Amino acid sequence: MIKKLFLNNKFILGLILINALILFIGGYLTLDNHKLIFLFADNLLTALFILELVIKMREFGVKGYFSSNWNRLDFILIVISVPALISFVLSVDIFDVSFLLVFRILRVFKAFRFFKFIPNIGQLVAGVQRALKASVFILLGFVIYIFIIGILSFYLFQN
């Protein structure tokens, strides 16, 4: 039952959307007790993502799991989230992970998991890459143009 649930892409998409919403709202909270509730929810979702990772590795095998680029991204994002989970579960006095808390900001990238559910995302990414390559030359042209106009303006209006 649990295995079937975590292999369901709609369920995982729901978890990702809830996690993104929690991260968004959590950034605007000012009361400590509200922050604690959202921190608990975020860490609970991180634990669920770890459970998803374990279930998928057992289902597809380690090699099969890592054959998908999306699963590689998921793995990296989950590993990045683990220090925040450890610091939440364990007391810093027992296990000092305070230096790893810098990585908590990277948990925002968990929302990138949402992109794997967009149809034809590979084609979209390829199109954006082509557009960026073309834009680099346009931007470079603008920089050169502004540089030349700046030099001309300097010499024309220096007095």
Dist. CA 115–CA 142, nearest whole Å: 32
pLDDT digits (tens, 9 = 90+) for 58-108: 999 999 999 988 888 889 888 888 877 887 787 654 455 545 555 555 656
pLDDT digits (tens, 9 = 90+) for 111-129: 677 777 788 888 988 998 9
Q: How many Å is the Cα radius of gyration of the chain? A: 23
How many beta carbons lie within 10 A of that of residue 154, not counting itself? Answer: 9
Dist. CA 125–CA 32, nearest whole Å: 40
Claim: this prediction has a pTM higher than 0.85: no
The phi, psi pair for 7, rounded to 5°, reads -95, 0
The DSSP element (H or E) to which 158 belongs, if any, is none
